């Protein structure tokens, strides 16, 4: 599977070859660090933009076209996790999921919305979902009328580390799965049937109750973050779609 250094070399060679043919056009490359050791390389060629993200070990995490094409995401060992048909920046067409080299299922999307389940494996149960967030910041500037400026934003969670805890009575709380969202907040993991709690990486696992009660929100630095999961999530059958939301309220000094 392609790693960061190899892919960068391929892109640079392609850029040079293309520039030899057309001196007026050349690829544009930009590189940023996303945190947690992740990196992102964006390539623009003839108006088409492709985003490549990499795991801390240099392994390709995903390859995503900004407009039309196939969006592929990989496990950190190089195996394919999913591939999704994109059209004009949205999920349109089939999305196929994989685990340990096996095809687990295929969903059909239209304008970023699941409209049909085409195929599901009988061997595994898998969870696919998306994190979204909303943020409300109360500014420190006081207006003449006594109010303060407030800033609101919402969107998808990018590269959030998350873990799942299985709900089992009389069994000590322990992490069942650890996984990451992608740049759009989408996540995927394979699980057996049962009840689970989904928590952010900053959640102290010792404080999670045996019945997956409401987790304690993170507080500090003038902000409060709350999680919308307040009871065990029931997973049954072969597929579960799970939308989750994070809400943040902050106060500027």
Instruction: Give the per-residue pLDDT at 63.
Output: 94
What CA–CA distance (Å, rounded) separates 211 from 106? 32
pLDDT of the chain along its 253 residues, tens only? 677 666 665 555 454 444 444 444 557 889 899 888 899 999 988 778 999 999 999 999 999 999 999 999 999 999 999 999 999 999 999 999 999 999 999 999 999 999 999 999 888 889 998 888 888 877 766 667 766 678 788 887 767 888 888 877 777 778 888 988 988 889 999 988 788 888 888 777 777 766 665 455 554 445 556 665 556 777 777 888 888 877 777 776 6
Decide if 131 contacts 246 (C-beta within 8 A). yes
How far is residue 22 CA from its own chain's centroid?
37
Tokens of 81: 């996790």
Residue whose C-alpha is closest to residue 157's, from 129, 130, 197, 189: 130
Q: Tell me the whole-structure pTM to 2 decimals.
A: 0.79
Domains and CATH numbers, the chain: 4-120 (3.90.930), 129-251 (2.60.40)
Q: In Å, what is the CA distance from 204 to each residue of 3, 141, 200, 225?
A: 33, 34, 9, 14
d(CA 118, CA 107): 6
């Amino acid at each position: 599977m392609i790693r960061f250094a190899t892919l960068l070399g391929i892109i640079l060679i392609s850029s040079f070859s293309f520039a030899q043919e057309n001196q007026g056009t050349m690829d544009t490359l930009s590189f940023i660090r996303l945190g947690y050791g992740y990196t992102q390389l964006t390539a623009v060629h003839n108006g088409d933009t492709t985003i490549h993200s990499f795991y801390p070990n240099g392994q390709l995490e995903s390859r995503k076209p900004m407009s039309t094409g196939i969006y592929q995401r990989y496990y950190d060992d190089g195996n394919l996790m999913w591939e999704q048909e994109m059209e004009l920046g949205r999920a349109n067409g089939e999305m196929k999921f994989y685990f340990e080299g096996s095809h687990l299922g295929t969903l059909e999307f239209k304008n970023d919305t699941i409209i049909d389940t085409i195929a599901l494996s009988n061997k595994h149960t898998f969870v696919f979902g998306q994190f979204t967030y909303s943020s409300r910041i109360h500014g420190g500037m006081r207006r003449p009328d006594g109010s303060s400026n407030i800033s609101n934003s919402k969107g998808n969670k990018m590269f959030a580390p998350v873990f799942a805890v299985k709900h089992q009575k009389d069994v000590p709380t322990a992490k069942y799965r650890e996984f990451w969202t992608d740049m759009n907040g989408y996540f995927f993991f394979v699980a057996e049937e049962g009840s689970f709690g989904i928590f952010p990486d900053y959640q102290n696992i010792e404080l999670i109750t045996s019945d997956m009660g409401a987790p304690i929100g993170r507080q500090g630095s003038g902000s409060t973050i709350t999680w919308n999961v307040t009871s065990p999530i029931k997973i049954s059958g072969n597929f579960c779609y799970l939308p989750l939301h994070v809400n943040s309220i902050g106060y500027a000094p």
